Amino acid sequence: MTATDRIDDTLRAHAERLKHARTADLVARSPSRANDLALRVGPIYANFARQGYDEPALEALFGLLREADAPGRLRAQFDGEAINLTEGRAVLHTALRGDTSQAPAAREAHAQALEARARMGELVASLEASGVTDIVSVGIGGSDLGPRLAVDALQGVGARPRVHFLSNVDGHAARRVLAGLDPARTAGILISKTFSTQETLLNGRLLAEWMGEAAASRLYAVSANTARPAEAFGIPPARILPMWDWVGGRYSLWSAVGFPIALAIGMEAFEAFLAGAAEMDAHVIEAPLERNLPAWHAATAIWNRNGLGHATHAVLPYDERLKLLSNYLQQLVMESLGKSARRDGSPVAGDTVPVWWGGVGTDTQHSFFQALHQGTSIIPADFIGIVRGDTPHVENHRALHANLLAQTEAFANGQASDDLHRAYAGGRPTTTILLDSLDPRALGALLAMYEHSVYLQSVAWDINAFDQFGVELGKQLASRLLPALSGEAEPEDPVTRALLAELRKG
């Protein structure tokens, strides 16, 4: 029996033993717990003291990771072994941001990454000098969410080009993005690893038409399929940046897919973003599991899912600039870990990914927090705070911190009352992650932390985190149904036929 087969039984035994121990009791029992269960890596501090495990449960969690050979599996990833077994591909996003491996495949990938980055730097410089004021980045999923988050989180006010994102195939998205832009002062970037994604091709065509003559000189592309942008849009090789099959879409913002990020924050800041991620890479590969931040994060996720059976996980940044973090993490985590088959094709032993969702504090305190405090389902959460604010509004920043501290305390400790309507049970698990400031280095480190945590969860569950066959069926059906929308075919499914009849009325 492997560690993965035993995961539920092992952890449930500990959960049963701990079922009456609230996190407040665990903290009270061990005065040093508040500091013992905290780790710092570069600009990131994380405190796990308010999770519901104790020392023996943690030992069991790290034991499971060790038995699944987590260190060896990390090394295999960094060295460029074909760990994406179902597609026979290496997974080398770490080589995009540093040279943490001397293995030939990783070195080769790193050299290619440096060459592509140098070319991207030249394109950034020429666009900076061109008088272009606005950039429209067209892509979807991994070719959109990462750059969109990083640009929204890191862009300053002033001098640099404004970067806009167009992803949804809904024409209202294009209308909103293009309203108010001037085609004569706008450049476009089409980002698609495959260059076959319906949304991106349709929106790319729409953007090219809107740009008119300017498209001939100011349309750029990023793709692993470099022939297609030239064929389909006439974009010359000098304006096409490469991607490779060893970079998964949702792990690609560190590659030329980050072109919009570099345009929004400048090349130097983009390099700092990569350096922050590389710092986390060095940590995850070197630190023993018990002092390893991504391993702690992964162990905690596994505890909450397999030990306690929690079906969702909230991510709650207390910083307006991280408003898009939960959208980005939804793809990273759920596209990677939403699997039911083990690596050998047999069914998984227990539950894999919970539903990830979230939103920014303090707004969410006034929307869904009621359910987090008193609902019947317990929802574990990552609270993310930024130590140093970047506005002159010191009182606001203090209030933001006071709210973050208050909420995590209330979730853990609760408050007794004879009136059930007014009682807070407490014992609701949270991890608090604090970044020294929201700069490129810290954001890079944070996102790399989540990437490694995702991989380590996949190792414990024995699933492949790097394919996404689950999204294919919907894509195939949509292409098959497209002719039905213009009356050229009739769908076979009776419910689809009834729905189409309603749509045709419009």
Ligand X SMILES: O=P(O)(O)OC[C@H]1O[C@](O)(CO)[C@@H](O)[C@@H]1O
Q: Which CB atom, from 60 or from 253, has the smaller least distance to ligand X?
A: 253
For residue 306, count other CB atoms closer than 10 A to its CB. Answer: 25
Q: Which two tokens stand for residue 23?
A: 């996190």
Radius of gyration of the chain (CA): 24
Q: Which CB atom, from 91 or from 378, has the smaller least distance to ligand X?
A: 91
CB 188 within 8 A of CB 208: yes
Q: Which CB atom, from 142 or from 260, has the smaller least distance to ligand X?
A: 142
> Checking DSSP bridges between strand 44-47 and strand 38-41, what pairing results, if any?
antiparallel
Nearest approach in angstroms of CB 189 to ligand X is: 12
Catalytic residue among 20, 172, 213, 366: 366
The C-alpha atoms of residue 503 and residue 53 are separated, in whole angstroms, by 52
Nearest approach in angstroms of CB 225 to ligand X is: 8
**DSSP code for 256:** G
Q: Which CB atom, from 130 or from 198, has the smaller least distance to ligand X?
A: 198
Q: Is 213 a catalytic residue?
A: no
The C-alpha atoms of residue 298 and residue 301 are separated, in whole angstroms, by 5
CB 408 within 8 A of CB 380: no
Nearest approach in angstroms of CB 468 to ligand X is: 5
Q: Which two tokens stand for residue 403?
A: 């709210």
Q: Which two tokens stand for residue 261?
A: 């990020």
Catalytic residue among 164, 297, 310, 335: 335
Catalytic residue among 122, 209, 475, 490: 475
Nearest of 407, 479, 427 to residue 21 by alpha carbon: 427
Q: Which CB atom, from 26 or from 191, has the smaller least distance to ligand X?
A: 191
Which residues contribute to the site for ligand X (CB under 6 A)? 140-143, 192-194, 197, 200, 249-250, 335, 468, 471
Nearest approach in angstroms of CB 229 to ligand X is: 12
For residue 393, count other CB atoms closer than 10 A to its CB. Answer: 11
Q: Which amino acid is it at 53?
A: Y
The C-alpha atoms of residue 357 and residue 325 are separated, in whole angstroms, by 10
Nearest of 462, 432, 243, 454 to residue 340 by alpha carbon: 462
Nearest approach in angstroms of CB 203 to ligand X is: 11
Indicate the SS3 state at residue 149: helix
Q: Which CB atom, from 192 or from 458, has the smaller least distance to ligand X?
A: 192
Q: Is 475 a catalytic residue?
A: yes
CA separation (Å) from 5 to 18, 63, 488? Answer: 22, 13, 50
Nearest approach in angstroms of CB 70 to ligand X is: 25
Q: Which CB atom, from 197 or from 364, has the smaller least distance to ligand X?
A: 197
Nearest approach in angstroms of CB 492 to ligand X is: 25
Q: Which two tokens stand for residue 45?
A: 């501090």
Could you give the residue numbers annotated as active site?
335, 366, 475
